[in-house]
Structure 1
Amino acid sequence: MDPILFYGVPAGCSFGAIVALEWSGRPYRLCRIEMPAVVASPAYRRFNPLGETPTFLSDTGEVFSQSLAILQHIARSSSDPRMGPGPATPDFDRLIESLSFLHTSLFSAFSPLWQAFEGAEEGEKEVLRAIGRRRVRKAFDQLARLLGGRTWLVGDGPTVADAYFMAIVRWNDFHKVLDPADHPTLEALRARLEREPAVQFALAVEHGQEARSSGQFRGHVALAEASRGARLAA
């Protein structure tokens, strides 16, 4: 069977995995998970007990979650250079460094802002917003230094690290912590990625628009259909 990526909308970090699947050149399907309604449902928790996206159903029926694991699984299954340098190559550690920073620093920086948005107590919201804004500013400053004068996060072209960057950096559009002009190198990286057909495809998919795949996308499946062939707990 084709692997299935369960992606969250609106603006889930699973966006990066959609881009990576497009680049991989291998067949895949998608299952759309609305947040917070469907992601918290018993039907979806059979796939992901944490009630989070993304989740990946492999072609052998194995189910696992967490963006870093999914991105590296996709990368191992493809020889496309956009998967990034492989293990035992000089730039592999740089790839892992970039992915780890994006997850532990940039992703986490937005967490207080999402908590404030998703239903914190009224008295907590302003505190969470203040913490989130401070952390986001710091993370963007650090990421700009990590990028340095390079065109891409790793090597001479886009990789899964850039795909994951694109997934998270868009959150500033919603929370409006920073003026993009404050970090011109990061804004230039985003602009380069937005010209990528795979990124344009992922954006169209997220918005429920007609999307033209440049990869091997084989359509959406419903949540109930996805459970067939998966190794799930009863």
Structure 2
Amino acid sequence: MSSILFYGVPEGCSFGSIVALEWSGLPYRLCRVEMPEVVSTDEYKQINTVGETPSLLLEDGRTISESMAILNHIGARAIGSGLGFAQGSEDFDRQNQMLAFLNTSFFAAFGPLWYALEHPMEPQDEQALTAYGTAAVEKAHHTLEHLLAGREWLLGNGPSLADAYFVGIARWNDFHKVVDRRQFPSLHRLYERMQQEPAVRFAHAIEHRQEAKSSGAFLGEVDLTEALGLLKQAA
């Protein structure tokens, strides 16, 4: 059994894990999880008890959740491709540090905006939450521009797991329209460059159910019922 990535739509941060799998060359399949309808069901919680995406079902029946854990797992299995680095090495630490920033600061900055959009509340409460989220997103963009320091890629040497995770989150600004990304030249160039990556085009096509051409080892999609059956077989 090949691994199965459970990806969330619409606009899931699992987008970055699809990009990373494409880059890795590792064989994998995908399982589409609609949010919030399917992700919160008892069936999906057999895969991820927290009821979130992404999740990765491994060949031996184990499951991994949380983007950072999944990306580091992919990196560890793809060291030969240059995508991952040996744990404890300088490159591993730099990449892990960047992933942590993206996860705790860049990702989290959009949280208030998603909450205000998805939950009914009093107008003044929505306005306050939106203002808080807007300030957080602006700050995160300023910080990321500083971290890039004019480099072409987040780690400087070429595409990395951090760039894959970045592009899945950065697109949320296009949805919420918080900042003009052109105010952040290095960040803007990185985002535009990533849009030309075949792996990113593939992930977009998968999410929108368009014709998708894999340049990796994508083996097709399975539905949740089939994935749960495979999980039981592996147990």
TM-score range, shorter chain: over 0.9
For residues 134-182 of structure 1, give each alpha carbon's deviation from its aligned partner in whole angstroms, at most 9, with x where no partner exists: 0000000001101112111114100000000001000000100001111
Counterparts of 1:152 and 1:43, CA distance in 2: 39
Match of 1:75, as an amino acid?
G
Corresponding residue for residue 55 of structure 2: 55
Corresponding residue for residue 121 of structure 1: 121
SS of the residue aligned with 1:154? Answer: coil
- The within-5 A match list for 1:70-85 is 70-85=70-85
Corresponding residue for residue 102 of structure 1: 102
- The within-5 A match list for 1:131-170 is 131-170=132-171
Corresponding residue for residue 204 of structure 1: 205
Match of 2:151, as an amino acid?
R
CA contact (8 A) 2:77 2:84 kept: no
Match of 1:220, as an amino acid?
E
SS of the residue aligned with 1:7? Answer: strand
RMSD across aligned positions (CA)? 1.6
Deviation, structure 1 residue 191: 1.3
Counterparts of 2:182 and 2:22, CA distance in 1: 30
Q: TM-score, normalised by structure 1?
A: 0.95
How many residues end up aligned between the 2 structures? 233
For residues 31-55 of structure 1, give each alpha carbon's deviation from its aligned partner in whole angstroms, at most 9, with x where no partner exists: 0001111111111111111111101
Deviation, structure 1 residue 231: 5.9
CA contact (8 A) 1:5 1:29 kept: yes
Deviation, structure 1 residue 82: 4.8
Counterparts of 1:201 and 1:171, CA distance in 2: 18
CA contact (8 A) 2:74 2:84 kept: no
Counterparts of 1:42 and 1:159, CA distance in 2: 35
Corresponding residue for residue 194 of structure 1: 195
Alignment identity in percent?
53
Counterparts of 1:55 and 1:88, CA distance in 2: 25
Corresponding residue for residue 66 of structure 2: 66
- Please, which runs of 5 or more residues in structure 1 have no aligned partner? none
Corresponding residue for residue 184 of structure 1: 185
Corresponding residue for residue 223 of structure 1: 224
Question: Residue 29 in 1 paired to residue 37 in 2?
Answer: no
Higher deviation after alignment, 10-19 or 87-96: 87-96
Counterparts of 1:176 and 1:25, CA distance in 2: 34
Counterparts of 1:97 and 1:198, CA distance in 2: 23
Deviation, structure 1 residue 121: 1.5
Corresponding residue for residue 5 of structure 1: 5
Flag the 1:80–1:176 CA change in 2: closer, same or farther, 3 A.
Answer: farther
Counterparts of 1:198 and 1:22, CA distance in 2: 6
Q: TM-score, normalised by structure 2?
A: 0.95
Counterparts of 2:15 and 2:230, CA distance in 1: 24
For residues 74-133 of structure 1, give each alpha carbon's deviation from its aligned partner in whole angstroms, at most 9, with x where no partner exists: 111113545243323322211011100000000000000000011142342111101100
Corresponding residue for residue 42 of structure 2: 42
Corresponding residue for residue 171 of structure 1: 172
- Please, which runs of 5 or more residues in structure 2 have no aligned partner? none
Flag the 1:214–1:80 CA change in 2: closer, same or farther, 3 A.
Answer: farther
Counterparts of 1:158 and 1:42, CA distance in 2: 37
